[in-house]
Every structure is written in structure tokens, then in C-alpha cells.
Structure 1
Amino acid sequence: MYKGSCLCGAAKFEVSGALETTDACHCNQCRKWTGHFLASAEVSRDSLSIYGSENLSWHHSSEKVRRGFCSKCGSSLFFDPLDTDKHHWIGISLGAFDTPTGTNLGQHIFVAEKGDYYEITDGLPQNDH
């Protein structure tokens, strides 16, 4: 069981299954949403329980995805693809986990859009998209 929350604790979550794919997304939207890049883990929708959902706000950043954040403190929490037939997962910000995750980043994505103020030098796979 993995547990996590936003900065103020108004929105909490538990994950009963595995943390699947992990990545760091460097796209313009993720950088603006988080202030840097989004490090996240994909989890099965069925394994996620959210508490305090009345404190979540959702921003539809495109026709394909919405992003969930705490409406009280602004913490970036969830990356939610809207095509649930194709995407049986939801992304959770790794920084929001309270418990150790026991995982490592697997790859960097959208590196063609990364900020000019940092370099990626950890040796992980890098994908332009």
C-alpha cells in the first residue's frame, strides 16, 4: 500500500497496486504545471482511492487529458488521460507520495521541450515525444 497527499493534506490517496511505468515529462505543459518537470508513476485506476476529492480541481489541459490538483494548496497530483478504454492508468506525481515508493525513474519524455536551464545527465532513456 502506498499513501500520499497534497501539501496541506486536504486531498489524500492510497494505491493498493504496483507503481507501473515511471517517467519524467519535460513537456511545456508539465513544466508550467509543476514549475519544473513532472516525475510521475502510472497506477491502475482500480488500485487508486482518493480521499478529500471535494478538494480536488481538474484542469482539462487538452482534449485528451485532465490534470488534478488540490484546490486549497495547489499541489499537482494527478495526470488523467480521458480515453479510459485505451488508458487503464492514471499518473500520480511521485513527489506527492508520503511513503517510500521503492521505485526509480524509468525514462525522460518530451525532452525536445525541456527547459534550457538544466541538462539531463542521469543516463536514462530520453524520448523527444
Structure 2
Amino acid sequence: MSVVENQSLSGGCQCGAVRYRVTGKTDYPHLCHCRMCQKASGNFFLPLIGTEKKDFEWTRGEPTWFHSSKPVRRAFCNVCGTPLAFDTVGDTVISFTHGSLDDVGAVTPVEQSGVEGRVSFYDKLFSLPETVSNRDDLPGGTSDVSSTNCQHPDHDTTNWPEGHR
């Protein structure tokens, strides 16, 4: 297992209503392919990183929790819907979503779990053609997206939103 000692990490939801900080070690960064994680993330898999609950704190707002099963609850922002955490009730560890980190590249996944649910075309994803999105399908293209962006920046802020929402 990959353990990162005493790394300070921050992250949060897309709109900035819910933010968190990790001040201790992280453990078991992985991609979960189980069907429940697919549904919870709306994706082919859900990247998760574990840390001790004592080293994890919500620094702005509070997430909404959904029990996806009796022993497991999942945190998400009730404003923008961003999946934020996976918590096994009664455990000392909480797992937060890798993609919600401010610096997504700070931790590297070490394993894939729940592979029985992995989609059949997963191994072909990296051979697909690649393009840079110019969003010419939207009125105003990328300039309109940039000028009206309500996404929280990838760092902690004192005040948010700054005129958005």
C-alpha cells in the first residue's frame, strides 16, 4: 500500500460550498470499479484515498450524507452534487474522492479494486483518439465558459463565492 506521511492536502466540491483538509498520512489510493461506486460517482470507477478520521476535517460547510448500504455512507455537496467521501460507519478511516483534491497529482493510485464490476471497454480507453476541447458546441465557446465560470479555484479561499451563484 502507498502511504504518504504527514502530507497536508486540501480539496472540496466544484462550487466551493464544502471544503476539507487532510493533515496526516494518506493510505490506499485506489480506483474502485464496483457498481455501487460507479453509480455514486456517475463514472466508470471512483478514485478514493484513505486517511484516519482524526486527520481529516471539513473546513467549510458540511456535506450531505447518503447511506448507500447499511455500513457505508457517502458524502456529497448538496449544492453542486460533487461526490466527496466514502465512510464505513464505525471505522477510524474515511476515504475522500481523489478528483476533489486541489492537487489531483499529489497522490498516485496503487491498486484497482472491485474489478468484477469494471466495464468491458476499460482497457481500450487510453487508445481512443484525443482532442483538446474548444467547446464550439456551446454558444460563445470556451470564452463564454471561462467568463462565466463558477467553479471554486484549486486552493482555499477566505470568502467564497466571490460574486458567483
2:72 corresponds to 1:65: yes
TM-score, length-scaled by structure 1: 0.84
2:50 corresponds to 1:42: yes
Structure 2: distance between partners of 1:57 and 1:43: 20
Unaligned runs of 5+ in 1: 123-129
State the identity as a percent: 30
1:113 is displaced (CA, Å) by 1.0
Structure 1 segments (4+ residues) deviating >6 Å: none
2:30 corresponds to 1:23: yes
Unaligned runs of 5+ in 2: 1-7, 127-165
| Equivalent pairs, count | 118
Q: Which amino acid aligns with 1:99?
A: D
Higher strand content, 1 or 2: 1
Structure 2: distance between partners of 1:115 and 1:6: 26
1:33 is displaced (CA, Å) by 1.1
Determine the structure 2 residue equivalent to 1:52.
Answer: 60
Larger radius of gyration: 2
Q: Which amino acid aligns with 2:108?
A: N
2:111 corresponds to 1:104: no
Note closer, same or farther for the CA distance 1:29–1:92 as it changes in structure 2 (3 Å cut): same
TM-score, length-scaled by structure 2: 0.66
Q: Contact 2:98–2:104 at 8 Å: present in 1 too?
A: no
Q: Which amino acid aligns with 1:38?
A: L
- Structure 2 residue aligned with 1:9, among 11, 16, 20? 16
Q: Contact 2:66–2:73 at 8 Å: present in 1 too?
A: yes
